[in-house]
Amino acid sequence: MATPKDTTPVQEIRPTTQELRIPERFIPTPTIEPGHNFATITDHISSIVLRRKTPVGWFIGLLIAMGGVGLLSVSISYLVGKGVGIWGINHPVGWGMDIINFVWWIGIGHAGTLISAILLLLRQDWRTSINRFAEAMTLFAVASAGLYPALHTGRPWYDYWLFPYPNTMGLWPQFRSPLMWDVFAVSTYATVSLLFWYVGLIPDLATLRDRARNLWIKRVYGMFAMGWRGSARHWHRYEHAYLLLAGLSTPLVLSVHTIVSFDFAVAQIPGWHATFFPPYFVAGAVFAGFAMVLTLAIPARKFFRLEDFITMKHLENMGKILLATGLIVVYAYAMEWFYGWYSGNPFEIYMLKNRSTGPYMSMYAALWICNGLAPQLMWFKRFRTSTFWLFVVAMFVNVGMWLERFVIIPASLHRDFLPSSWGMYHGTFWDWSMFIGSIGLFFALLFLFVRILPMISIFEMRTLLPEAQAHTEEEGAH
Amino acid sequence: MGGIGKPIEGLYGVIGEFGDAQSLLDAATAAREQGYRDVDAFSPFPIHGLAEAVGFRKSHLSTIVLTMGLIGGLGGYFMQWYANVVAYPLNIGGKPYNSWPAWIPITFECAILLAAFGAVFGMLALNGLPMPYHPVFNVPRFDQASRDKFFLVIQARDPKFQLDEVRDFFDRLNPREIVDVPW
Amino acid sequence: MAQIFHRSANTLSRVTIFGAIFIAGFILWVIGGIVRSPYFTNQGVQREQAVPFSHQHHVGGLGIDCRYCHTSVETSSFAGIPPTSTCMNCHSQIWTNAAVLEPVRQSFASGQSLQWNRVHRVPDFVHFNHSIHVAKGIGCASCHGRVDRMNLVYQATPMTMEWCLSCHRNPEKFVRPRDQVFNMDYVPVNQKQLGPQLVKQYNIRKLTSCSTCHY
Amino acid sequence: MSDDNKLDFQQFRERVGDLRGKEYWRSLEELSRSEVFDEFFQSEFPQQALPLEKGVDRRDFVKLMGASVAMAGLTACRAPNETIIPYVNQPENLIPGRPLFFASAMPLGGYATGVLVESHMGRPTKIEGNPDHPSSLGASNSFQQASILGLYDPDRSQVVRRAGEISTWSEFVAALQPLLSAARTNGAGLRILTQTITSPSLGAQIQQMLTQYPGARWHQWEPVSGDNAREGARVAFGGYANVIYDFTKANVVVSLGSDFLSEGPAHLRYARDFSARRRVRQGDARPMNRLYAIEASPTNTGSVADHRFPVRPSEIESWARQVLAALGGAAAVPAADATPATPVAPQAMARDLAANRGASIVIAGEDQPPAVHALAHALNSALGNIGSTVLITDPVEVAPVNQLESIRQLVTDMNAGAVQTLVILGGNPAFDAPADFNFGGAYQKVPFRAHLSLYYDETSMLSHWHIPETHYLETWGDGRGHDGTVSIIQPLIAPLYNGRAASEVIGALVGGLDATPYQAVRNYWFGRGATEATWRQWLHDGLINGSALPARGATGAPPAVSTMDTVGAPQDGLELIIRHDPTIYDGRFANNAWLQELPKPNTKITWDNVMLMGPGTAEDLGFGGRERDPLVNERRTRMAELQHGNVRMELPVWVLPGHAEGAVTIFYGYGRRQGGEVATVKGPGFDTYPFRRSTTMHGGPGATVTMRSGSVYPIACTQEHQSIDPKIVGDRNIVRAATFAEYQTNPGFAHQGHHAEFELSDASMYPPFQYTGHAWAMAIDTTLCTGCNGCVAACVAENNISVVGKEEVVREREMHWLRIDRYFKGDPGNPEIYHQPVPCMQCENAPCEPVCPVAATSHSEEGLNDMTYNRCVGTRYCSNNCPYKVRRFNFFHYADYDTPALKPMRNPDVTVRTRGVMEKCTYCVQRINHARIEAAKQDRRVRDGEVVTACQQACPTQAIVFGDMNDPGSGVAQLKKEPTNYALLGELNTRPRTTYLATIRNPNPELAAAAAAGKAEAH
């Protein structure tokens, strides 16, 4: 039988916009630049993964990240060997950068699922080109976050006591504790995000399986593709499952940071004990998450020439989201003052006084600048549409969200009820080394991801093309 | 190549390759109209209406997910109730043994977790995945199915399957090519 | 496109998935068994002693009361390990030159203590008190087993926390009349009826607060 | 055979039963001779009458270490193989696993205070006061509590040394002989130097020695000496005398720089008596006493005074004179005197005193010059207090001398080469003798130098011979209390480190009699009519009844005060005050980590000595709040150079509100160069003895201080205070106080007005938990707390609390379960000072519990907030959520598992905590459980007073009361009904079981009015 190999190079097929019959609304800021078809999309994205030669920049980046991982492992060994005393924590400040970083990472870990799930339900098809990337980021952020609760305990080798299992002590976890809620929320979130991400990957893994030339690489991708063959029935169930997952992830993603906020809201320390923490934290998480997506997407699209797929439309939308969530966060900051004043409670009032004029006032001021002022630039289109300014603002927000957690955790603890036990908190070398290390871990994973997996969902990109539209007669009729 | 009316040894079916989604959809519809039942279509992305066109009726996924979710929720609550009320009741900060409000978060998380498992593994199971080996992979150009080509297969086990008729049928749809798919 | 996997891969892949789940469950089950096994609890592990002292002979045979040697069992948290002089009370009269007793005579002459290998050991963060258990009608045999039938003493019960709790939660299942505490052969007759009655009589409380044992 | 065996056994146990009742207070002597047992064993096994001359010897002790069950902390789940090592001959009455209590006495500064020592299987583990002893009445102070650590201290000297080389006792004795024979012939050249001695037996030995060597001389030196008191008494009464005060009879007390509540041999007794007149209760009509304190640097006594006048040291005398003058006393006010800040005060005080003739006390501080002491006596006689509230007895010391002159003489002779042999019995003169004497230099001129001391210290370094001294818990001895009551000191354990007692060294000098300390003491008293019975009674009681010195009749002629030399008018410039350190005393306790880590009263500084000054003075020196507060937040402070005379030294500055302006206080005792790792490395501090010259023993005018801007010094202070706005404390109703007058008109003041908003609220979405059975609770009377630290030290000793060291305290990681919060109120120049002991509140709605993910902290059915160390994973969430911040976390492996010497010291009833575990006060649950078990064995409820927490037991003023809230008859239940009873941070609905009785002070209405008037003018 004749089997002519399809060797048509990418450049040859470049129909014009007219030929592609691209709807008007796409022209100004399209989610995908004109001139693409199934083949070009497929080849471009998969080639990033499959091309033989790895760019030098990637190696350099991975090397630096791996340095961070090294630092992390040193810090962890020293921590387990010596005790949490190597950190700056003390009485009264029992939680320092360990929990700050945990909350910070978890917050960042929200964008992915949010983009994938909620924007999917909202039929925001511009999400398509960034969701894969964001989901990966989520997973790696949650991985970094997970380090801290596990290692912040005084005796980490007994952490397994937090899991309910029948034991010779006849003891069980104490489920009234928000930390137990954390255990379940974070592990569920990690698992579901992983599944969601993997399900999204299956058809693309099949694509890579078919594109790869080396048999073993084919087999590896083939193994994870689980023999996906694009059957119509499979596609149907697949989309159904994906939609259900999205539906499940949406409340999940909201619950996770709600529960993280309970760690504080349930306690009665002034500055923690506030009923509006859940929405406040969730908004903060989205805020932080999108900032991190921008921080990563802007360099990535440049480096891998993905401007065609991650267009200015995406960046601008994310800028708008930054602005929206940023305003919610600022509202929360304002409410803290209102509640403090309205309660007339001396402890609350002093807590606010101490935040704004106490030893950590500089932190609090910086927090307002980063999370309050910087995002306001997003009101203006010329900032929203400038990758430089977007990146700058995103960086401000990243820092700001870390400061927010600092202000909430140590700055509330260090002066609580009895002045006799007031104290100060300062991060030590090991606090910072562990933080930097976790960032290293995050980026190391990210670098590996972009090298071995498609950072943009290929099959979903295909559906964005007008050719993807097909109609049965009945539909065609009217 | 066997006789009329009965499946042919070693033949899975006949597959036709098409250039775009529309023609695949039309082909699938045509095949159904021809009365073929064991038809399947392959595309690089989900095509609206294609599954129905090849005779897909209904997915039972929702039921599975709902059941799993309920199991998860009830199980989660039971776990907490058992641990803190039955197994070792302790006076924790003067709160009652059965402090149900404190148990809502974990109940919820457990429900979500199991429901998600239901969705993913249910989908895979219903799709009969993993299935790394499948006859259609024998089709030389089938690797294009995950790029930009569209395929329609009529299986040999279809009661109406007649090799020549099927080939003719495909010819009429003028696909890029027609291939017999061996087992 | 050529097949990249053999036909068998289909079965194989499914088997591995289910196999993995099964194996994980199996391993957990095994661990659960191990921590309850003598390897961890030392239950039933006999320990060599400098002097092969036989409770079977002294208690079962001669019928010496537990308290003759373990003098402080009713007064103190610590039941007491008899001083050499206690051994010599009799063995200065009988078996005065039995070879096995040489270490005892040695010890008494030199003033160097006999060294016994500890058989029953609760962790240092558990504060167990013999006297109150005896006073509340918990028999020696309930925890230490039929010592009168042990040639070399071994730990008869697991002595894990869940084991302690089994009685602290349901004392009525184990309590016996005070005068039977030191009786090795005591067999409860209709504990169902006697137990609750004794619990009331000795006003035994269900002590499951953490600070009952841990402080 | 088994039957009659059982029968005898029955009797045997009955007898044990009889004896057990008397277990407490039992003496080793009694232990060894209990007829019941002898007879029993005689009859049964004649060949085994067990001889037991002494207590538990070292070999037994080593065995016991093996036998004791709870040795170290949490271990792995896999049990290691252990061996049990029983006795060979078990002492009767020693019931393995049960503590015994023995009466003894702890000497300090020569004076012996009765104690009860808890002994676990031969290991002394805890000191309690002896309720029968007049100097303590059952209370105990931090020195006594910490002496347990002093006993086991591995840094103690363990061998005889000759010129630093290891030697033996017999070699020392041999080396002595030629010298002694020489001394015997010409007599001269032999000197001994001791500290203050009240021990009759030792005194007798020394006298015997002096008669044996006519030319020999006996010198005494103690840095914290009573010289001024002695001289004052001599001026007043024409001879050395011992003055005893009876505060139970005093309505008005005037303290002239005296810290009688926490210093001096009788402070425990005085604190008890004084507090007896301040305990304000419903339906108790007795008026509250009133305390005026005139002092320079704040003391515990001053901190609880109803009126505290911070004045420069030199002004105290003029105050006294004005009061005396106002009373029409013998002496007019010398014209030279400056008039004090508030002229109205002395008159008012005088009127108050006059109104309470015979029922008032004027007491002068040990550091005050003789003149002030004399004036105090003059005032007392003028007020007719002598004979009623003030008793005069003969001196308690064996040979009272002016010790400054005594050591001056010694040094002169040494320099003159007149000293051939010097034997120093205890003390550390090379470190603590007056700087201008250069004792060390003179000492080295002596051909034969021997030094007996607990540590190989600065003096030992310079000695030919060093002999390790026995700790008081290791040897026999005797001593007198503040009123002369004699106690026999009996050992709890054989010398751990081959120590020798002073009596043994004297024995060696006298030659011939090589009596053991036991024989020495025993022979002395049997020589004075003691019988076997009385002797055993004394040991049992811990004192010789009726051995107190008789009070002299009131001296007719009022003391002559006009004649004596006066300090003279206050001068310009700063005045220097030199005081001994409140926690490590004169430096002898510098190696005691418990005392080093004890927050010093009022300053709350640990591990260091600082230069104290008032806020105003600091401002003048350019170290005001703006410069100070940021540093203090960070547990840091500035260095300043202090110059006095020709001595200059850089010292860390610490500003203490209420410190007299124009004066600075420094503390001596730190800066040890030798004598233990803790003393020299972990807590070195600064050696301020150079400032202490024979002319400036307690400081003096003419000091200059200059700030060193650059250098910053870390201070391990457990409670920052400069940065705290008193308003905050007020807003939060942490301290609730009123005057006695206000209380009488409105007893419920603690729950009214602003306080009303901060009451316990029962609002809860859950039904309250029902506590049938016991409900343990505590009430602390803040009126009575003097901040003396006795309770804190007791808590450390009882609960095996780890020492963390200066660096960790600087990092705010101190581990004390019980802390004494100190709050200032009002004018920083002269604030009211409040002490508030804060243990775990044992909240019924404990915020710490619901947040623990593993139920490591939970509630017992008796309402205790249990902390299960072995279950704790260390999330620290509980500590974060504790509003009182009483939880303590083991950030590192603080507990010392390795040092063998420290293992037997630990309380076997309390788990030693490991790294990564939270810990906290549990109301001494081990004591509760012990009591509950004993009660349960007798089928009864635990009686009130059967459980006494360590802090309660130590407290000299009985400010802490613990018991069963559900027992209406219990003391604590009564106090909870008091109108002044309030819950700290009650509005948080934590329902704390520990509550406080509001502070009540009794200021002089006249002065209050005057003050108000003053304010009015100001506005």
HEC states along D580-632? EECCCECCCCCCCHHHHCCCCCCCCEECCCCEEECHHHHHHCCCCHHHHHHHH
Q: Please report the pLDDT score of residue C43 as a whole number.
A: 87
Q: Do D6 and C82 touch (CB under 8 A)?
A: no
Structure tokens at A340: 């403090």
Is the confidence at residue D74, as pLDDT, over 60?
Answer: no
HEC states along A410-456? HHHHCCCCCHHHCCCCCCCHHHHHHHHHHHHHHHHHHHHHHHHCCCC
Please tell me the distance from the alpha carbon of residue D13 to that of residue D17, in angstroms, as a whole number: 6
Residues 12-71 of A with CB under 8 A from D: none
B45 part of contact set with chain C, CB < 8 Å? no
Give the residue carrying structure tokens 């219990």. Answer: D970
Amino acid at D262: S
Q: Please report the pLDDT score of residue D78 as a whole number.
A: 42
Closest CA to C77 of D926, D153, D427: D926
By Cβ distance, the residue of C1, C10, C40 closest to A210 is: C1
D249-293 pLDDT, tens digit each: 999 999 999 999 999 999 999 999 999 999 999 888 788 999 999
| Beta carbons of D657 and D672 less than 8 angstroms apart | no
Mean pLDDT score of chain D, rounded to an integer? 85
| Percent over 70 (pLDDT), chain A | 91
User: ipTM, 2 decimals?
Assistant: 0.90
| Beta carbons of D321 and D331 less than 8 angstroms apart | yes
Q: Please report the pLDDT score of residue B143 as a whole number.
A: 87
Please tell me the distance from the alpha carbon of residue D978 to that of residue D736, in angstroms, as a whole number: 14
A128-167 pLDDT, tens digit each: 888 888 899 999 999 999 999 999 999 999 999 999 988 8
Residues 129-188 of C with CB under 8 A from D: 129, 131-132, 135-136
Please tell me the distance from the alpha carbon of residue D951 to that of residue D791, in angstroms, as a whole number: 4
By Cβ distance, the residue of D2, D73, D868 closest to C124 is: D73
| Beta carbons of D964 and D774 less than 8 angstroms apart | yes
Count Cβ atoms below 10 Å from residue A417 Cβ, excluding itself.
23
Residue D422 dihedral angles phi and psi, to the nearest 5°:
-125, 120
Q: Please report the pLDDT score of residue D19 as a whole number.
A: 36
Please tell me the distance from the alpha carbon of residue D777 to that of residue D782, in angstroms, as a whole number: 16
Q: Please report the pLDDT score of residue A17 as a whole number.
A: 46
D348-376 pLDDT, tens digit each: 899 999 999 999 999 999 999 988 998 89
A329-365 pLDDT, tens digit each: 999 999 999 988 898 888 999 999 999 998 999 999 9
Please, which pLDDT band fits residue D566 given cuts at 50, 70 and 90? Answer: low
Which H or E run includes A261? helix A232-265
Give chains near B: 3+ CB pairs under 8 A.
Answer: A, C, D
Q: Mean pLDDT across the stretch D154-183?
A: 88
Please tell me the distance from the alpha carbon of residue D791 to that of residue D200, in angstroms, as a whole number: 32
D731 part of contact set with chain A, CB < 8 Å? yes
D988 part of contact set with chain B, CB < 8 Å? no
Q: Please report the pLDDT score of residue D8 as a whole number.
A: 40
Please tell me the distance from the alpha carbon of residue D88 to that of residue D85, in angstroms, as a whole number: 9
Q: Do C4 and B132 touch (CB under 8 A)?
A: yes
Q: Do A155 and D888 touch (CB under 8 A)?
A: no
By Cβ distance, the residue of A230, A241, A469 closest to B145 is: A230
Q: Mean pLDDT across the stretch D378-387?
A: 89
| Beta carbons of D758 and D988 less than 8 angstroms apart | no
Please tell me the distance from the alpha carbon of residue C92 to that of residue C88, in angstroms, as a whole number: 5
Is the confidence at residue D33, as pLDDT, over 80?
Answer: no
Q: Please report the pLDDT score of residue A3 as a whole number.
A: 40
Which H or E run includes A247? helix A232-265
D609-664 pLDDT, tens digit each: 999 999 999 999 988 888 888 888 888 899 999 999 899 999 999 999 999 999 99
In whole angstroms, how far apart are CA C45 and each of C35, C149, D328? 15, 15, 90
In whole angstroms, how far apart are CA D839 and each of A234, A422, D386, D884, D984? 67, 16, 41, 9, 11
Is the confidence at residue A316, as pLDDT, over 50?
Answer: yes
Q: Please report the pLDDT score of residue A472 as a whole number.
A: 65
D42 part of contact set with chain C, CB < 8 Å? no
Is the confidence at residue D55, as pLDDT, over 70?
Answer: no
By Cβ distance, the residue of A170, A219, A226 closest to C165 is: A170
Is the confidence at residue D671, as pLDDT, over 80?
Answer: yes
Gap from A409 CA to chain D (nearest CA, Å): 10
Please, which pLDDT band fits residue A306 given cuts at 50, 70 and 90? Answer: confident
3-state secondary structure (DSSP) of residue B122: helix
Q: Please report the pLDDT score of residue D49 as a whole number.
A: 30
In whole angstroms, how far apart are CA A472 and each of A22, B26, B49, D408? 21, 7, 7, 120
D736-794 pLDDT, tens digit each: 999 999 999 999 888 887 777 767 667 777 888 889 889 999 999 999 999 999 999 99
Q: Do D769 and B102 touch (CB under 8 A)?
A: no
By Cβ distance, the residue of A175, A191, A240 closest to B103 is: A175
Amino acid at A429: F
Give the residue carrying structure tokens 């419903």. Answer: D282
In 3-state terms, chain A is what percent helix, strand and coil (to 5)?
A: 75, 0, 25
Q: What angle do CA D692, D694, D696 make, to 5 degrees?
A: 55
Q: Please report the pLDDT score of residue D883 as a whole number.
A: 95
Q: Do A269 and D880 touch (CB under 8 A)?
A: yes
Closest CA to A200 of A129, A109, A147, A126: A129
pLDDT along chain B (183 residues), means of 10: 54 89 89 88 89 83 95 96 93 91 95 96 91 90 87 88 87 86 84
Please tell me the distance from the alpha carbon of residue A228 to that of residue A222, in angstroms, as a whole number: 8
Please tell me the distance from the alpha carbon of residue A135 to that of residue A457, in angstroms, as a whole number: 11
User: Which of D72-81, D664-673, D934-943 bottoms out in mean pLDDT, i.e. has the lowest?
Assistant: D72-81
Q: Do C124 and D74 touch (CB under 8 A)?
A: yes
Buried-exposed string A192-211: b where 16+ CB fall within 10 A, e elsewhere: bbbbbbebbbbbbbbbbbbb
Structure tokens at D610: 């600082």
Please, which pLDDT band fits residue D1007 given cuts at 50, 70 and 90? Answer: confident
B93 part of contact set with chain C, CB < 8 Å? no
* Exposure on the CB side of residue D724, measured as CA atoms within 13 A: 26
Q: Please report the pLDDT score of residue A9 as a whole number.
A: 38
Structure tokens at D571: 């001068």
Residues of C in contact with D2 (CB under 8 A): 62-65
Cis peptide before A92 (omega within 30 of 0): yes
Q: Do B137 and C208 touch (CB under 8 A)?
A: no
Q: Please report the pLDDT score of residue D587 as a whole number.
A: 92
Closest CA to D487 of D456, D525, D439: D525
**Taking the alpha carbons of D844, D848, D851, D852 in that order, is the dihedral positive or negative?**
negative
Amino acid at D110: G
Gap from B164 CA to chain A (nearest CA, Å): 16
Q: Do A222 and C4 touch (CB under 8 A)?
A: yes
By Cβ distance, the residue of B90, B133, B141 closest to C6 is: B133
| Beta carbons of D110 and C105 less than 8 angstroms apart | no
What does the CA dihedral D731, D736, D737, D743 come to, rounded to 10 degrees? 120
Q: Please report the pLDDT score of residue D512 as a whole number.
A: 62
Q: Which long-range contacts (CB under 8 A, 24 or more apart) does B159-165 make?
A: B159/B37, B160/B34, B160/B35, B160/B36, B160/B37, B161/B7, B161/B13, B161/B36, B161/B38, B162/B4, B162/B5, B163/B1, B163/B2, B163/B8, B163/B11, B163/B14
Is the confidence at residue A46, as pLDDT, over 90?
Answer: no
Mean pLDDT score of chain A, rounded to an integer? 87
Question: Which residue in A has a C-alpha nearest to residue D990's C-alpha?
Answer: A268
* Beta-carbon contacts of residue A147 (< 8 Å; ≥ 6 apart): A72, A76, A434, A438, A441
HEC states along D357-408? CCCEEEEECCCCCHHHHHHHHHHHHHCCCECCCEEEECCCCCCCCCHHHHHH
D228-237 pLDDT, tens digit each: 999 888 888 8
Is the confidence at residue D30, as pLDDT, over 70?
Answer: no
Residues of C in contact with A166 (CB under 8 A): 32
HEC states along D70-118? CCCCCCCCCCCCCEECCCCCCCCCCCCCCEEEEEEEEEECCEEEEEEEE
Is the confidence at residue D39, as pLDDT, over 70?
Answer: no
Is the confidence at residue C13, as pLDDT, over 60?
Answer: yes
D884 part of contact set with chain A, CB < 8 Å? yes
Q: Do D880 and A267 touch (CB under 8 A)?
A: yes
Closest CA to A67 of A430, A440, A435, A429: A440
Give chains near D: 3+ CB pairs under 8 A.
Answer: A, B, C
Question: Which residue in A has a C-alpha nearest to residue C164's C-alpha?
Answer: A169
| Percent over 70 (pLDDT), chain D | 86
Q: Please report the pLDDT score of residue A13 as a whole number.
A: 44
- A-C CB pairs within 8 A amount to 31
A170 part of contact set with chain C, CB < 8 Å? yes
By Cβ distance, the residue of D79, D87, D922 closest to C113 is: D87
- C-D CB pairs within 8 A amount to 173
Question: Which residue in D has a C-alpha nearest to residue C106's C-alpha?
Answer: D88
3-state secondary structure (DSSP) of residue C115: coil
Q: Mean pLDDT across the stretch D870-899?
A: 93
